[in-house]
Structure formats: structure tokens, C-alpha cells
Amino acid sequence: MNPEKNDRGKIVPAKIVLREPALEDGMSVFRLIGRCPPLDTNSSYCNLLQCGRFSRTSVVAAYGDALVGFISGFRLHEQPDVLFIWQVAVDEKARGGGLAMRMLFNILSRPQCEHVRYIETTITSDNVPSWSLFRALARKLSADIQSCDWLDRQAHFDGLHESESLVRIGPFNPEQIGSKS
């Protein structure tokens, strides 16, 4: 299938379908993340687990037969009102149309997230697109955003990865999610 593109070669956002990932999406997710530097590539097994075991708090964006977006998330057992967003991937051809925000609200609007009042994620200091996305999400949710040092380049990554800040958005009213998406 060759879906429509606009005059700049970008994907038409209205043609993108959001759904829960299936186990069979794991390798497509693995390849998508590989096309989205500077995202960390995990093993294909990890992406299969995300699609198979965390599907209810993750989302894929399909454009025809191709996956052009993916967000992995999970609820924290010890803090059931927190949704941790692990990774956000949007194919270059699908960027600029608000797909990442649509995917976040798709997850938040599900029954599994009806009691979520906080979102957490980690972001490196130089990841401008992620900071922009999560600041915009906080604004849309009318919620505070806070960050603190969490994973240190030397202490946790042996100098092989930049330090990561833990970012927390909330509290927000889960009943307002449907009106914001």
C-alpha cells in the first residue's frame, strides 16, 4: 500500500491510525526506533516485550502497512497513579503534525490509565524535541512539570551515555483527558 503524502513528502496526519501494539509489531518497532536517532536502540527482544507485555499502556501509529510512530509506557506498581513513558519514536516523514501528542493522549484516554495523575519520563539535557513535547503536554494538562538529576553519565552509564533527568508532570485531572486530545 502506498498511502498519500502531502506536497512536502510528509505523511498526511489524518491518515494515521493509532492502536495498541501487537506482539507481531515488535520488529517493526525495532526498525522504527533505529530510524529515529538519537533514540537508544534496545534489543529486538525488548521491543517484542514492549509490544506484547506493555501493549495496554503503549501505542503504535500505522500509516498504511508501515509503523510511523511508537510510544512505550508502563504503570508503576508501587505508584499506580504514575504512567512512565519509556520511549517516543516518530518517523521523520510523520513529524511536525502533532503525532507524538496524539499518541500520548491516546494512551492516557484508555481505561488502564483512568487513575493516572502523573507522567514520568527521562530526558537527556540536549534532547530538545523531547523537552518541547513534554513541556507542551504539561501545558495541555494544566499541570506542573519538574525535573531532577536521576541517571548519571559516570555513576550509571560508565561514561557511555549522557546523564538523564527524571521529568515528572502532574498532578492532572484524568477526567479532563478526553477533552484535551
53 φ, ψ to 5°?
-110, -20
The topology (CATH level 3) of 13-180 is Aminopeptidase (3.40.630)
User: Residue 168 forms beta bridges with which residues?
Assistant: 120, 146
Domain range summary for the chain, segments of one domain joined by +: 13-180
The reported pLDDT for the residue numbered 181 is 53
User: Residue 98: left (phi > 0), alpha (psi -120 to 50), or beta?
Assistant: left
The reported pLDDT for the residue numbered 8 is 59
Q: Round to whole Å and give the CA distance between 170 and 179.
A: 17
The reported pLDDT for the residue numbered 101 is 97
Cis peptide before 13 (omega within 30 of 0): no
Q: pLDDT tens, position by position, for the chain (181 residues)?
A: 445 555 556 787 889 999 999 999 999 999 999 999 889 899 999 999 999 999 999 999 999 999 999 999 999 999 999 999 999 999 999 999 999 999 999 999 999 999 999 999 999 999 999 999 999 999 999 999 999 988 776 777 788 788 789 999 999 998 878 655 5
What does pTM read for this prediction? 0.91
113 φ, ψ to 5°?
-115, 15
The reported pLDDT for the residue numbered 180 is 58
Are 134 and 123 in contact, with CB atoms under 8 Å apart?
A: yes
